[in-house]
Amino acid sequence: MKSSSESSRWSGLIDYFGLLGVIALMMLFFGTQTENFWTLPNLFKTANQIPEFTLLAIGMTFVLIIGGIDLSVGSVFALSGVVTGVAAVQWNWPISLAMTLGVFVGGCCGFLNGFVSERWRIPSFIVTLGMLEIARGAELMIANSQTQYIGGAVEKLGMPIPGLGITPAFLIAILFVVIAQVILSKTVFGRYLFAIGNNEEAVRLSGINARPLKITVFVIAGLMAGFAGLFQVWRMGSADPAVGVGHELTAIAAAVVGGTSLTGGRGSVVKSFLGVLIIAILASGLVQMRTSFHFQRIVTGVVIVLAVILDAYRQKVTWVEFRDSFLKRKPAAR
């Protein structure tokens, strides 16, 4: 057992060094190919654009670890921001209360995802796909498809801290990463999540009810999307119902690039954060190289595919098993 634990620890360290090595190589490449990549304004700009994706990746990491998936986080992200904007602008709520409502809505969406999936044994892939459309439609209806400009009440929250160059949102996102990693690696709740992802039936036979734990994970993903929506509002000074399209794929990509398994049972929030950094540096470098937006999407897609292939190789599963992990249910755990 000891040798197995030490092997796992060394494997984890190799993953960390591998991700940091990729980041270093990417920064070296883009730094030599462009003039402004290494400048502080560009580095601060890149850092200040990732808090939203960091929170979405945290929530997605939790969901993937239990063997699920959440395709609704992009729409819930936008819905939370729109609810905040409408409450502050149209209903004249105090901004603190409006932001609380936005996060609460995110948590409710996550609860519905988890409850429906567990109550009726429907794959999370299908339930969250439905929530993606529900949340997107709700936000457009609530905001009447109009951007809600909030202005000074939130703009100052999105401004860089004088002397540091980074925003409060970046520091808060780092704090969330630390807290989430501690929950995963140091608490009984975290150990149960890994156990559910590895073998839910074994967890059931050991007398543990996995349902409330899995619902809680989806609530966490919804809350992270809600906070991410607030960060977007802070950064833009407004709530735009058109944002968040495709963010769920970016969150999945960041988690998988960071080593989180798509079939459950393995993952790390810190590594997912490094995955967010890799995707952000890639996007920033391609912009500096003046590549087209369409080419950037192609490259990002290639990175996602490569990450999935690497994950399948690590897990030594076939593509059929990989597909069935999302489209078919495991034996009911009652």
Tens of pLDDT along 205-243? 988 999 999 999 999 999 999 999 999 998 888 898 889
pLDDT band of 9, cuts 50, 70, 90:
low
Is residue 18 in a domain?
no
Q: What is the mean pLDDT of the chain?
A: 87
Going by C-beta distance under 8 Å and a sequence separation of 6 or more, which residues neighbour residue 115? 215
Distance (Å, rounded) from C-alpha 304 to C-alpha 173? 23
Min mean pLDDT across 11-20, 72-81, 239-248, 256-265 is at: 11-20
- What pLDDT, in 10s, does the model give residues 85-132? 999 999 999 999 999 999 999 999 999 999 999 999 999 999 999 999
For the stretch 215-218, contacts whose Cβ atoms lie closer than 8 Å and that sit 24 or more positions apart, written own/partner, are: 215/111, 215/114, 215/115, 215/118, 216/114, 216/189, 217/62, 217/63, 217/65, 217/66, 217/68, 217/114, 217/193, 218/63, 218/68, 218/70, 218/110, 218/111, 218/113, 218/114, 218/117, 218/124
pLDDT of residue 164: 83
**What are phi and psi for residue 317, nearest 5 degrees?**
-110, 155
Q: Which two tokens stand for residue 205?
A: 């036979």
More confident residue, 193 or 8: 193
Residue 284 and residue 42 in contact, taking contact as beta carbons nearer than 8 Å:
yes
Is residue 158 in a domain?
yes
Is residue 27 in a domain?
no
Q: Label residues 226-264 b or e (16+ Cβ within 10 Å = b).
A: bbbbbbbbbbbbbbbbebbeebbebbbbbbbbbbbbbbb
Give strand pairing partners of 148: 239
pLDDT of residue 56: 97
- What pLDDT, in 10s, does the model give residues 60-79? 999 999 999 999 999 999 99
Is residue 298 in a domain?
yes
pLDDT band of 25, cuts 50, 70, 90:
very high
Is residue 320 in a domain?
no
* Average pLDDT for 174-192: 96
* Average pLDDT for 242-262: 88
321 has a pLDDT exceeding 50: yes
Sign of CA dihedral 195, 201, 206, 207: positive
Spatial CA neighbour of 274 closest among 97, 50, 114: 50
Q: Which two tokens stand for residue 185?
A: 């690696």
Is residue 28 in a domain?
no
Give strand pairing partners of 238: 149
Is residue 169 in a domain?
yes
β-bridge pairing 238-239 and 148-149: antiparallel
Is residue 234 in a domain?
yes
Q: What is the CA radius of gyration of the chain?
A: 20
- Domain range for 173 is 50-315
Spatial CA neighbour of 271 closest among 253, 244, 245: 253
pLDDT of residue 263: 84
- Domains identified in the chain, total number: 1
Q: Which two tokens stand for residue 9?
A: 């620890």
Sign of CA dihedral 198, 209, 128, 78: negative
Spatial CA neighbour of 226 closest among 65, 46, 56, 50: 56
330 has a pLDDT exceeding 80: no
- pTM as predicted: 0.89
Q: Which two tokens stand for residue 80?
A: 């939370």
